[in-house]
């Protein structure tokens, strides 16, 4: 176990990291499925950490600026994540029930 001090956005955290053997590390390898490869266009990111309650769009769907794309629950409040511009959804990076961090990619609109 090795101990590290990490600073994120001005806050310092101490973490312990355990080195796993390659065999043990391979067991926990996980691939996150996506509806499509990362698309070209404008990224829509989570404004805060939370849980995706609903995904209201699909890949290939045309959207208008202001259309609700996702409902994100954060601190017991439901927040609408809206399209920043007109376009077509070229990729989705989350599904209902996913926990996301602030700045996490939700989808791409071209």
Residue 33 pLDDT: 43
Alpha helices in the chain (DSSP H): 22-27
| Domains in the chain, CATH or no CATH each | 31-109 (2.40.50.100)
Task: Give which of 35, 72, 80, 32 is closest to 52, Cα–Cα.
Answer: 72
Model pLDDT for residues 86-109, shown as the tens digit of each residue: 999 999 999 999 999 999 999 999
What sign results for the dihedral spanned by CA atoms 75, 81, 84, 88?
positive
Model pLDDT for residues 12-51, shown as the tens digit of each residue: 778 787 777 665 555 554 444 444 445 567 899 999 999 9
What sign results for the dihedral spanned by CA atoms 97, 67, 39, 46?
negative
Cα distances from 6 to residues 100, 101, 108, in angstroms, run 20, 17, 30
Q: Compute the distance between CA of residue 2 and CA of residue 17 in angstroms, rounded to an integer.
A: 5
Task: With a cut of 80, say whether residue 84 has pLDDT above it.
Answer: yes
pLDDT band, residue 10 (cuts 50/70/90): confident
Model pLDDT for residues 49-82, shown as the tens digit of each residue: 999 999 999 999 999 999 999 999 998 899 999 9
* 63 and 81 Cβ atoms separated by less than 8 Å: no
């Amino acid at each position: 176990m090795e101990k590290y001090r990490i600073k994120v956005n001005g806050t310092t955290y101490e973490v312990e990291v355990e080195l796993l053997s390659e065999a043990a590390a391979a067991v926990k390898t996980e691939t996150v499925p996506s509806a499509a490869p990362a698309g070209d266009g404008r990224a829509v990111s989570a404004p805060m950490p939370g849980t995706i309650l609903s995904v209201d769009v699909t890949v290939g769907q045309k959207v208008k600026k202001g259309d609700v794309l996702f409902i994100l629950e954060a601190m017991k409040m439901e927040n609408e994540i809206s399209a920043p511009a007109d376009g077509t959804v070229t990729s989705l990076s989350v599904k209902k029930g996913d926990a996301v961090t602030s700045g996490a990619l939700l989808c791409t609109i071209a």
